[in-house]
Amino acid sequence: MRAFINPFFSKNTIESLNLSKTRKPIVFPWQILIKTKAVALNPHDLNVLHGNAFSLGLLRKEGKILGCDVSGSIIKKGIFANKFKKGDKVFAMINPLIAGGFSEYVCLNFWNTRKIPSQINTKEAAAISLVSLTALNALFPYQNSNKSILIIGASGGVGHIACQIALYFGLKVTAVCSEKNRKFVESLGVNSIISYDKEQIGKRRFDIIFDVVNTYSNNKFEDNLNPNGNYIYTYPNKNMIKTHLKNLIKLKFNQKLVLVKYNKNHLDLLLNLIENDNLRVNIQKEFSFLELTEGLIELNKKRTIGKLVCLLD
């Protein structure tokens, strides 16, 4: 099979990814093998490649196949994957520590794989898992709380999904985006919008700040938090980790780092949201598999509205 592999002794850049021939993965009894139809491009892939995200910089990236979000058709299954049959169209988020999605064939664990609902197509299925599970990990504790939330980076991958989930949970959503993306964010149904290139957040306060793009430094987020409020961030850079540790030493627990992880209840809720048309993923642009590195270059500009995906034959 063909896969984009980061060679050993490479410079760990997007351009260093090579489309190479490699063996198909071995299917263990608890796994299914799919022929990949679509793979999403995520900032996590770049973080691992560049080694610029806290512990992610310690992960092996040389000789590695990146890619976490995939969809495709089952061509082989292990004996324990009895809920599936050959030919089923499925989607899944691969464990981000393992990855392997930038390839023509991928092995998935049966427990975090789901059949693609009729409400979405193959490319939307590939794009929706990682961003939705990240948002659900962050927002699940606040459902039915009627709290106010500020979502920073509302037009991006995690951001536009978080806006929809927050509204479903009954939160009062203020979204931060550029003026250029205002109409798109308005279409998500948020309560109010702050265009960061035209106005400041100022002294407005919220019960929750979900900062997808790490806008704040040090403890400045506290200026916009209500008493007992929570600041949630998704990208573990060194400055935020230092601030987090300092706050813990001071017995201040208003800061929370959320990393994506598999959760059966969250995955089942995601499926329910899709099937009841309560969640949609926006795909800004599609690339062919051969154009995957071009897609990553586009992603690295940090101007994506929703998601980017690569389609395979």
Q: Whose structure tokens read 């393992």?
A: 98
**pLDDT higher than threshold 50 for residue 4:** yes
The sign one gets for the Cα dihedral 173, 177, 183, 187 is: negative
Cα 111 from Cα 192, distance rounded (Å): 38
Residue with the bigger pLDDT between 58 and 156: it is: 156
Helices (H), the chain: 43-50, 122-139, 157-168, 182-186, 238-249, 264-275, 292-300
Q: Whose structure tokens read 């560049």?
A: 50
- One-letter amino acid of 21: K
Query: Which pLDDT tens digit goes with each residue over 197-234?
Result: 999 999 999 999 999 987 776 567 788 999 989 999 88
Pick among 3.40.50.720, 3.40.50.1370, 3.40.50.300, 3.90.700.10: CATH of 133-257: 3.40.50.720
pTM comes to 0.92
Q: In the predicted model, what is the mean pLDDT of the chain?
A: 90
Query: Which pLDDT tens digit goes with each residue over 286-310?
Result: 999 999 999 999 999 999 999 999 9
Most confident of 41-55, 89-103, 241-255: 89-103
Query: Which pLDDT tens digit goes with each residue over 134-161?
Result: 999 999 999 999 999 999 999 999 999 9
Instruction: Write down the pLDDT at residue 57.
Output: 47
DSSP state of 247: H
**β-sheet bridge partners, residue 113:** 92
Q: Does domain 2-130+281-311 correspond to CATH entry 3.40.640.10? A: no
Instruction: Write down the pLDDT at residue 223.
Output: 86
Task: Give all strands of the β-sheet with 192-195 in edge-to-edge order.
Answer: 192-195, 172-177, 148-152, 206-211, 225-233, 255-257
Instruction: Write down the pLDDT at residue 56.
Output: 47
Q: Is 48 exposed, middle or buried (0-12, 13-18, 19+ CB in 10 A)?
A: buried
Cα 176 from Cα 23, distance rounded (Å): 45
- One-letter amino acid of 233: Y
**pLDDT higher than threshold 90 for residue 63:** no
**pLDDT higher than threshold 80 for residue 242:** no
Mean pLDDT of 51-75: 73
Q: Do domains 2-130+281-311 and 133-257 have the same CATH topology?
A: no
Q: Tokens for 258?
A: 């959320």
Instruction: Write down the pLDDT at residue 177.
Output: 97
**pLDDT higher than threshold 90 for residue 2:** yes
**pLDDT higher than threshold 80 for residue 95:** yes
Q: Tokens for 231?
A: 């600041």
The ranges assigned to domains in the chain are 2-130+281-311, 133-257
Q: How confident is the model at residue 238 (pLDDT cuts 50, 70, 90)?
A: low
